[in-house]
Structure 1
């Protein structure tokens, strides 16, 4: 595993090409799972863990890594499976999601593979509502499951969804009534968080699951003789999504002159890696790390107030 992450910082050329790199790993058993390399800071043999009283049972302890104290989450337990028993032979994947760093305890780490987002598909419809998958793919005749980490983290350490008093005033809510926002996110947890936030602001919301659906939706509006740039206050899109990622969606929108005026906010848990330069590369208007309800609400409020015609 030495050196497996050495070239992560050189992989930014994947941006806008609808490609990703997955770090493959196993929990208990033969099933293969994947996590986006861009969210991985480090992979190491499981260090000594210190148990924390009254912590969530899936948090096996904390570890001191690079001078910081990091919670270590048993990813097998967190997704409803049995706990990993042999810690000495297990690995920890250090990740950054939503500006927070945590470690995921896994049974084994395999390798990194380069894939196209078009080969990543939503979970089969028969999986129900209680699964922890955000996507699946096939690799060498093996099913690879991509875990909805945002759902795991929301259960282990819930994030407040309350907008602070004063962020949205009554005048803005009155103006928001006729405003429509399109949101795109493959995580059901993230979609619900954003929807509740925007509904508090007062705007109408349409929520879709991936970039392909969003692009089809926008083109459908155009086919009906409607103008998305006029009807939609803004598009709020995740970056990591099956079929078509947020960067490719943004680039496709910017290539269509009929969609030129559509305001695009990329809203993602990839907070530690992607920066404004990468956002500008594909033509997005703004970038916001998940999930900060006040910041998200303020972005929408700014758009509402900016859309008001001066007297």
Structure 2
């Protein structure tokens, strides 16, 4: 698993690998990049007065990690499976263990094979960010960042983090932002607005964002007169943030646009991937105050 991580997304290939797992009778997926390892269940120490989705704590090679019961997260009722597994994950600068009923296989796919959820189940609190159709079944990609924000609100983005920057006037600066999570789009909108950046054009994926940027170029306008910066997540249906960045930097009329990658996947081990596609900077969620300072640096 670790060997393939060095290849995928290295040059903005718009591909990913997902670990398919089961909870109840349904199939779900998590990006391999988030997964540190998969282990057999181990005894859990309950935590008094903890969130109902948290089973308790385990000790893994000297680290104490919380265990999240995905059956409770997803509202699945039933007995624990004898094939149960623990998925040890790391993102947003935190480690967590997800208890699932089974881990089945790994798929290598393109982001353009991932469909965005229909309006019936893509609301701000749905927790589903993509759908993969495989033969007669479907694999649902879950919004793990939002799952963790619900359990631990302190792990999310907070408007009060930018209040220390004081009164600011940035309304004449136009930002294009690509972020697939409805919850995070709302949080980003609130925090960027609080920082003075009121003119933000949001898109659900890199493909729509790129199409918008290319339409501005096709209209004959100089891109720097219409947009001053692009902000992008990495994991998005249709086109991921690395591929979006690569496409921007390979277009002679867009290449001067500063691109900041704002993602839960920014780690020391993975930062080189953003550098290879030409991103000006990379900030790990939820470091919103640092993000605002970086935006200031590149467009003021």
Does residue 1:23 correspond to 2:23, yes or no?
A: no
For 2:65 and 2:271, the matched residues in 1 are separated by 27
What do the CA deviations read for 1:202-253 (whole angstroms, capped 9, x no partner)? 1111111000000111011112222333322211100111101111111111
Aligned CA distance change for structure 1 residues 273 and 190 (closer, same or farther; 3 Å): farther
1:267 match: secondary structure: strand
Does residue 1:169 correspond to 2:163, yes or no?
A: no
* Corresponding position of 1:4: none
* Corresponding position of 1:35: 30
* Corresponding position of 1:111: 105
1:254 positional shift: 1.0
1:273 positional shift: 6.4
For 2:20 and 2:264, the matched residues in 1 are separated by 19
For 1:237 and 1:272, the matched residues in 2 are separated by 16
Q: Contact 1:49–1:62 at 8 Å: present in 2 too?
A: yes
For 2:70 and 2:64, the matched residues in 1 are separated by 18
Partner residue of 2:116 out of 107, 116, 122: 122
For 1:46 and 1:297, the matched residues in 2 are separated by 41
Question: Superposition pairs for residues 1-311 of structure 1, below 5 Å?
Answer: 7-15=1-9, 16-29=12-25, 31-82=26-77, 85-86=79-80, 89-127=83-121, 129=123, 130-158=125-153, 159=156, 161-164=158-161, 167-170=164-167, 173-174=168-169, 176-203=170-197, 204-272=199-267, 274-304=269-299, 307=300
For 1:283 and 1:302, the matched residues in 2 are separated by 17
For 1:279 and 1:205, the matched residues in 2 are separated by 22
For 2:229 and 2:269, the matched residues in 1 are separated by 21
For 1:60 and 1:273, the matched residues in 2 are separated by 30
Aligned CA distance change for structure 1 residues 14 and 128 (closer, same or farther; 3 Å): closer
* Corresponding position of 1:3: none
For 2:8 and 2:162, the matched residues in 1 are separated by 40
Aligned CA distance change for structure 1 residues 86 and 288 (closer, same or farther; 3 Å): same
More displaced stretch, 267-276 vs 151-160? 267-276
1:284 positional shift: 0.8
For 1:190 and 1:50, the matched residues in 2 are separated by 32
What do the CA deviations read for 1:20-57 (whole angstroms, capped 9, x no partner)? 0010000112x211110000001011110000001001
Q: Contact 1:177–1:202 at 8 Å: present in 2 too?
A: yes
More displaced stretch, 89-98 vs 64-73? 89-98
Runs of at least 5 residues in structure 2 that lack an aligned partner in the other structure: none
What do the CA deviations read for 1:124-178 (whole angstroms, capped 9, x no partner)? 22325242210001123311111111221111111350344774233xx12x121
Aligned CA distance change for structure 1 residues 160 and 21 (closer, same or farther; 3 Å): closer
Q: Contact 1:235–1:265 at 8 Å: present in 2 too?
A: yes
1:12 positional shift: 2.1
More displaced stretch, 220-229 vs 59-68? 220-229
For 1:49 and 1:26, the matched residues in 2 are separated by 21
1:78 positional shift: 1.3
TM-score when normalising by structure 1: 0.89
2:244 match: secondary structure: helix
1:271 positional shift: 3.0
What do the CA deviations read for 1:54-77 (whole angstroms, capped 9, x no partner)? 100100111001110100001121
